[in-house]
């Protein structure tokens, strides 16, 4: 059944997800600070709003996909934010904002009788386009039953808990593992290349053995071996996610020695390569002092 949804933040991840809602026959009212980001969706019939508040005054359910906790706070609770809209009843956050921000926003919206579905996603831009994301929804069971069908538009949906923030915790755990895999795979393969091994052969062997992971299966073949460094996820966002994870572990008094080392390397990538650099460019930090370059080989 066709529905009318709002969508705030239609950039690299939000744009493909909003597009899938249009593909499914739903109507959209959208807002983004970038006119260029909105243009493809407007061309397909989405309606432009001038602010988050306008979106929340046009529809009852609003999706958001935004890059940082501060932006989430401003969009949800700021002076021209969603909370000041006069129609919104359900807020679905697809971003990675951290458990404490998710809980804070949910509590504030709850005072206005707006239900929060804390629902970060994983799978990258490719997964957003293909509808194969992992969707980690935390909300009351009744709300999950109601919104699971539309969340399936984005991929495979998991109900991870009833409390806002649990979706974020699940996402941070996932992204810490992904970040660690990218970092340690880069170190291991640079070591092998420096010793005289062929990089492509190394990746093939690792993927046939117990060391395979998301970096060796996807990121190395697609973006590192061909030296394109265009996997599609920014180092600054990965550093943000890792930082949120180690902060949450500290707040929960959970030791994270390996996570701390991963955090340090991604901080270096964010500083030296720049926050806009692709996550696969982290390998340059290891290649440079080693004096080798990881290429596709034969």
Segments in the chain forming alpha helices (H): 14-23, 35-43, 52-56, 69-77, 99-110, 124-130, 141-151, 166-195, 199-208, 214, 235-251, 257-272, 283-290
* Boundary residue ending a domain (134, 162, 190): 162
Residue 73 lies inside a defined structural domain of this protein: yes
- Assess whether 195 and 276 both reside in one domain: yes
Give mean pLDDT, residues 284-297.
93
Together in a domain, 275 and 180: yes
pLDDT tens, position by position, 36-81: 999 999 999 999 999 999 999 999 999 999 999 999 999 999 999 9
Instruction: Give me the mean pLDDT over the 200-208 stretch.
Output: 98
Q: Which domain holds residue 60?
A: 4-162
Asked, for residue 295, whether it belongs to a domain, the answer is no
User: Within a domain: residue 175?
Assistant: yes
Are the CB atoms for 142 and 70 separated by under 8 Å? no
Let me know whether 153 and 218 are in one domain: no
Characterise 254 by phi-psi region: left (phi > 0), alpha (psi -120 to 50), beta (else): beta
Q: Within this chain, do residues 217 and 257 fall inside the same structural domain, yes or no?
A: yes
Of 140, 162, 184, which marks where a domain is finished?
162
Q: What's the confidence (pLDDT) of residue 1? A: 78
**Cβ partners under 8 Å of residue 106, min gap 6:** 116, 118, 164, 165
Same domain for 83 and 154, yes or no, is: yes
pLDDT of 298 higher than 50: no
User: How many independent structural domains does the chain possess?
Assistant: 2
Q: Based on the domain organization, do 94 and 178 belong to the same domain?
A: no
Region 221-242: mean pLDDT is 95
Same domain membership, residue 113 and residue 30: yes
36 and 180 part of one domain: no
Task: Indicate if the pLDDT at residue 152 is higher than 70.
Answer: yes
Same domain, 185 and 56: no
Residue 252 lies in a domain: yes
80 and 201 co-located in one domain: no
Which DSSP state fits 234?
A: B
Catalytic residues: 171
Report residue 297's pLDDT band, with 50, 70 and 90 as the boundaries. low
Residue 202's domain is classified under what CATH number? 1.10.1040.10
> CA–CA separation, 8 vs 284, rounded Å?
35
Please indicate, yes or no, whether the overall pTM of this predicted structure exceeds 0.85.
yes
What would the two tokens of residue 217 be?
């299966």
Residue where a domain terminates, one of 142, 162, 182: 162
User: What CATH number did the domain enclosing 126 receive?
Assistant: 3.40.50.720
List, for residues 3-23, the tens digit of each pLDDT value.
999 999 999 999 999 999 999
Q: Is residue 19 part of a domain?
A: yes
């Amino acid at each position: 059944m066709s529905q009318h949804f709002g969508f705030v933040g239609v950039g690299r991840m939000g744009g493909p997800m909003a597009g899938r809602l249009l593909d499914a026959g739903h109507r959209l009212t959208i807002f983004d600070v970038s006119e260029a980001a909105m243009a493809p969706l407007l061309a397909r019939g989405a309606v432009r709003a001038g602010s988050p508040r306008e979106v929340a005054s046009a529809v009852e359910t609003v999706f958001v996909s935004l890059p940082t906790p501060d932006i989430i706070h401003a969009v949800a609770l700021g002076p021209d934010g969603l909370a000041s809209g006069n129609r919104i009843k359900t807020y679905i956050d697809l971003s990675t904002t951290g458990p404490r921000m998710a809980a804070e926003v949910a509590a504030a919206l709850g005072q206005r009788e707006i239900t929060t579905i804390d629902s970060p996603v994983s799978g990258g831009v490719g997964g957003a386009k293909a509808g194969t994301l992992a969707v980690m929804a935390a909300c009351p069971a009744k709300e999950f039953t109601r919104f699971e069908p539309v969340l399936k538009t984005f991929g495979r949906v998991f109900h991870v808990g009833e409390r806002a923030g649990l979706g974020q915790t699940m996402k941070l755990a996932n992204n810490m593992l992904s970040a660690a895999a990218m970092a340690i795979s880069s170190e291991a393969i640079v070591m092998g290349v420096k010793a005289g091994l062929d990089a492509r052969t190394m990746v093939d062997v690792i993927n046939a053995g117990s060391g395979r992971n998301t970096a060796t299966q996807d990121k190395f073949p697609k973006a590192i071996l061909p030296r394109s460094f265009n996997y599609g996820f920014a180092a600054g966002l990965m550093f943000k996610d890792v930082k949120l994870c180690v902060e949450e572990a500290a707040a929960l008094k959970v030791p994270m020695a390996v996570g701390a080392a991963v955090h340090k390397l991604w901080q270096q990538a964010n500083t030296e390569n720049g926050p806009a650099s692709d996550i696969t460019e982290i390998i340059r930090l290891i290649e440079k002092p080693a004096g080798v370059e990881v290429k596709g080989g034969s």
